[in-house]
Amino acid sequence: MSSDLKTNLLIKIKKENRMPTLNEISFQIKDKKAEVSNENRFSEIIDIFIKDIDKKFSSAQIAENDFLVSDILNSFYNLKKYEKGINFIDNYLKIDLRNINNSFIINLYGKCLYNYLKIKNNKNSFGEEEYSSNETEDFIDEAIIGDIDSLYNKTKLLLQILDIKDKYHYVTVKELCFNFVKLIVSVQTHWDYALEIIDSINPEDLSKEPYMGTIKGRQKELASHYETWFAQRSKILFEMGNYAECLSFSQKLLSDNILNHRDYDIWCVRRIALCYSQMKEYNLAIEGLLKSVKFKKVWFLQKELAENYFLIGDYKSSLKYALDAALGSGELKFKWELFYLIYETLEKLGNHEYSLISLKLAAAIRINEKWKLREKLTQSLAKHNIALDDLNVNTLKNKLDELAYSQLNKGIIKDYNAEKRFGFIEFNDSRIFFRASSYKGNASQLKVGERVIFAEDTDYDPVKKKESLAAYFVKRIN
> Cα–Cα distance between 18 and 428 in angstroms, integer?
98
Secondary structure, 3-state, 290-304: HHHHHHCCCHHHHHH
Measuring CA to CA, which residue among 467, 445, 441 is closest to residue 454?
Answer: 441
pTM: 0.82
**Start-to-end CA span in the chain (Å):** 82
- 189: phi > 0 → left, psi -120 to 50 → alpha, else beta; which? beta
Q: Roughly what angle, to the nearest 10 degrees, separates helices 167-187 and 191-199? A: 160
Task: Give the span between the Cα atoms of 56 and 25, in whole angstroms.
Answer: 12
Contacts of residue 235, defined as CB under 8 A and 6 or more positions apart, other chains included, come to: 185, 271
Going residue by residue through the chain (478 aa), what tens digit of pLDDT does each one get? 445 445 454 555 555 555 778 888 888 888 888 787 777 788 888 888 888 888 888 889 999 999 999 999 999 999 999 999 999 999 899 999 898 989 999 999 999 999 999 888 775 332 322 222 333 345 555 444 558 888 999 999 999 999 998 888 999 999 999 999 998 988 888 999 999 999 999 999 999 998 887 777 778 888 899 999 999 999 999 999 999 999 999 999 999 999 888 788 999 999 999 999 999 999 999 999 999 998 888 999 999 999 999 999 999 999 999 999 999 888 999 999 999 999 999 999 999 999 999 999 999 999 999 999 999 999 999 999 999 888 999 999 999 999 998 888 899 999 898 888 889 999 988 899 988 888 888 888 888 989 999 888 887 776 666 778 888 888 888 7
Other residues' Cβ atoms within 10 Å of the Cβ of residue 411 = 24
H or E element: which one contains 151? helix 148-161
Between the alpha carbon of residue 391 and those of residues 178, 333, 377, the distances in Å are 44, 15, 14
E strands in 179-227: 211-215, 218-222
| 362: Cβ contacts below 8 Å, ≥ 6 apart | 336, 337, 339, 340, 343, 377
